[in-house]
Every structure is written in structure tokens, then in C-alpha cells.
Amino acid sequence: MTVDSPSTSIRYRLLEEDGSLAGELPAYEDPWLRDLFVHLLRVRCVDQRMLKLQRAGRIGFVGSMLGQEASMIGTGAALREQDWMWSGLREGGAALMRGLPLDEYVAQMFCNSNDTAKGRQMCNHLQHKGSHYPSWSSVIGTQIPHGVGAAFAAKRRGSDEVHGIYFGDGATSSNGFHSGMNFAGVWKVPAVFVCVHNGWAISVPSSAQTAQSDYSKKALAYGMPGYRVDGNDVLACYEAMKVLVERARAGEGPSFLVVETYRLMGHSSSDDPTKYRDADEVAGWEGRDPIQRFRTFLEERGVLAVGEADSIEAELLAQIDAVVHAQEAAPPMALRSLVEDVYAEVPRHLRRQYNAFLRVAERYGEAQRGDGAFPL
């Protein structure tokens, strides 16, 4: 495989937009295909519920995954248990598939006392240590060199992990992208860079992000192969990622995969995209729904009975609603959390600051039991 002629074993598309076959399919087990569908649908259901809660003022912020489900589920499904996923804002759905429990997901969206990050991060910054999914800070591109360093560590330790490093088209302009790609190329680390090209970085179109219209060509400058796939074709995403992940695992070095999809909603729940993009463009992409495409394929193949998808959806929504309900009853956050986890031990100056704060909080009846002063 030479750098400027990417291997033909990576196909842009396996399913046409109408769900029909774009050439021959690899052999798949039907139950696996059905599971993949459930994962896809779960992402959409969670997303829709979170947006609804946000509109009702019950959670602060949602970075919607609508329209991008196949890109994260398809590529994420090609990572094995020991592999890591370094995420941006919109990969939470893949974390669910890889093991993040739904209640932890919802607790993080509420930033409540059950949140494993202890309500420190803004909503929509998920993490799950068990499936090697650190949270994104918020600072665009910073996770890219982290993933490279972790992949370097895997190599040094003789582990066979591969690191999937995810980021948006906007993030390709960041310093982290350049450093991460460059170091990865030089060090030949076991990593796959996944650029989720969704057309926009808030209001900046991807065409204004770089003068190179084919994002996959960026890889060439770093001495690694780059590929593009239809990000709304879950099987194309899966197959491409599988080749690249196993290539990395075999010690053949990093690669770059651009999954071409579209952000159907605004950048976040605080954004009004009608100010900067055409309704026609959005409508065009609405007609290329990745879930509908896969559903049609599965119905044709007989994996899903007609109407079965709807009952799966109803079941998923009921599960999510039950979790939301339980999470809304989370106890209040302990005040001591203010000064904990800054260091391994709460240092003396922070204990003193907390105690001084507590004196005022107690005066106004705000402290709860368990919020007591630290010994100095």
C-alpha cells in the first residue's frame, strides 16, 4: 500500500442511498446486523430525548448527533474491547455501544451527583473508563496528540491496543491535529484518525476550513494513507475502519479516515443554523438518513420484519425514559466536591478556602449534612 494510491480494499460505499447494494457484500451474520441497527437507533433515540429535555430546560446543552449515527457506530464497531476511543463532542452514541451504561450517560447530561465526572464537566462531555473512552475537554483538537501518546504507550508496553482518535472537520485546523498527525506518522503508532466531516464547524463550512476539498489528502503530508467513506453508510464505515484498525494492530502504522456525513441540527442546542446555511442543503441531507438506509437494507434482507424497527424504537425510548426518570431523583451534589480531585489529596489551602466558604453557606442555611468542614 503506497501512500499516494490508497488501497482499493476500502470502498466508499457498500449500500446505496436507497438501501440497495452497491456491489457485493461481505458475509455478515444476521444477528450482528440486527444489533448494529439497535445501536444506531439507540443513538437517535437518546439524542432526541436529550434534545427534548434541553428544550424543557431540564438539561443545559446538547450537541446533537442527528444524522451522524452511522459514522460513529460503524467505525466504533470495528474497535475491539481493548481499543480506545478518543472522542469529540458527538461520539457519545458510540460510547453507549462500547459499554457506557445508559444511566451514566444520562447522569452526565444532567451533571448530577451520579455523574462519574461529578458534575464538573459541561453536559455532553461523556466518559467511560471501562471501555477506554476518556472525555473530551471541550478544547478543539487537544485529544488528538493525547491519542497518539497513548498509542505510543501501547506500543512501548507491547499491548495490542489500537487507538481510534475522533475529531471534526473543524478540528483539522487546530494545532493538535498537526502535532498529532505528525508525531503519529514519525512514530508509526497504532492509531486510526477518524475525521467526522459533517460539513460544518458551528457556522463555518468545511470549505472555509481548508483549501483542500478532499480532506483525506491531508494524510499524505504526514506520510500516512488517507481514505474517504460515506459516513451515512454504516457498513462502509465499519469495513473501512476494520481494515485500518487491523492494519494498525499489525504494526503497519497510523492512517486517516474521513467519514463524510452531515450535521442535521444546529451546532448545539444554543445555535440557530438558519442564519448561515441553506434550507435546501439541509433538506438534501435529510433525504439521506443513515438509519433509514440501513433499515431498508435489513428489511429487504429479512433481518427486520416490516414494522419491527418501530417496536425496537418504542422499547428503546421506554428504557431511556425510565433512566431519565431515575436520574432526575439524584441527590444534591456534595459541596466538598468543590475542592476535591484538584490534587490527589485536598491540600491545606483548599481545605481552608472551603471552610471559609462553608461558614457563609451555613449562615444562609445552604450546607447539607456531610458538607462539614475539613480538619486543618
Partner 1 sequence: MSNLTLIQAVNDALHTTMQADPSVHVLGEDVGKKGGVFLATENLTNEFGEERCFNTPLSEDGIVGTAIGMAMNGLKPVAEIQFQDFIFPAFDQIVSEAAKLRYRSGGQYTAPLVIRTPYGGGIRGGLYHSQSGEAYFCHTPGLKVVIPSTPHDAKGLLISAIEDPDPVLFLEPKALYRAVKGEVPEGHYTVDLSTVREVRAGKDVTVFCYGAMVPVAEKAAEAAAAQGIDTRVIDLRTLLPLDEEAVLDAARSTGRVVVVHEAPRFCGFGAEISALIAEHAIEYMEAPVARVTGFDTPFPNTLEHHYLPDQRRVLDAIERVAHY
Where along the sequence are the contacts to Mg ion (CB under 5 A)?
168-170, 198, 201
Residues 6+ apart with CB under 8 A from 128: 95, 98, 99, 100, 101, 104, 116
> Closest approach of Cβ 258 to ligand TPP, in Å?
12
Are 17 and 286 in contact, with CB atoms under 8 Å apart?
Answer: no
> What is d(CA 157, CA 147) in angstroms, rounded to the nearest whole number?
15
Q: Which of 10, 171, 181, 234 binds partner 1 (CB under 8 A)?
A: 171
Instruction: Rule CB under 8 A: say whether 135 interacts with partner 1.
Output: no
Instruction: Rule CB under 8 A: say whether 373 interacts with partner 1.
Output: no
Instruction: Rule CB under 8 A: say whether 339 interacts with partner 1.
Output: yes
The footprint of partner 1 on residues 279-338 (CB under 8 A) is 333, 335, 337-338
**Position of minimal CB gap to ligand TPP:** 168
Residue reference for cell 444511566: 103
Q: Which stretch binds partner 1 (CB under 8 A): 69-77, 97-105, 109-117, 185-193?
A: 109-117
> Closest approach of Cβ 258 to Mg ion, in Å?
11
> Closest approach of Cβ 61 to partner 1, in Å?
8
> What is d(CA 36, CA 185) in angstroms, rounded to the nearest whole number?
32
Give which of partner 1, Mg ion, ligand TPP, none residue 12 binds (C-beta under 5 to 8 Å, depending on kind): none
Dihedral angle of Cα 265, 270, 275, 277, to the nearest 10 degrees: -20
Are 59 and 324 in contact, with CB atoms under 8 Å apart?
Answer: no
Residue type, 11: R
Nearer to ligand TPP, 39 or 197 (CB): 197
**Interacting residues with ligand TPP (CB under 6 A):** 88-90, 138-140, 167-171, 198, 200-202, 263, 267
Nearer to partner 1, 216 or 296 (CB): 216
Residue 349 host element (H or E): helix 348-363
Instruction: Rule CB under 8 A: say whether 221 interacts with partner 1.
Output: no
Set of cell numbers at residue 328:
432526575
Handedness of CA 344, 348, 354, 355 (dihedral sign): positive
> Closest approach of Cβ 107 to partner 1, in Å?
11
Closest to 339 (Cα-Cα) out of 298, 296, 376: 376
Closest to 368 (Cα-Cα) out of 342, 343, 337: 337
Residues 6+ apart with CB under 8 A from 265: 51, 64, 66, 67, 273
Nearer to ligand TPP, 182 or 203 (CB): 203
> Closest approach of Cβ 369 to partner 1, in Å?
17
Angle (CA) 109 170 198, round 5°: 70
Nearer to ligand TPP, 61 or 187 (CB): 61
Give which of ligand TPP, partner 1, Mg ion, none residue 153 binds (C-beta under 5 to 8 Å, depending on kind): none
Q: Which of 116, 203, 292, 319 binds partner 1 (CB under 8 A)?
A: 203
Residue reference for cell 424543557: 56
> Closest approach of Cβ 139 to partner 1, in Å?
6
Residues at the site binding partner 1, with contacts judged by CB under 8 A: 60-61, 111-112, 115, 119-122, 125, 137-141, 170-171, 173-175, 201-204, 208-210, 270-271, 275-276, 333, 335, 337-339, 342, 349-350, 353-354, 357, 359-361, 363-364, 366
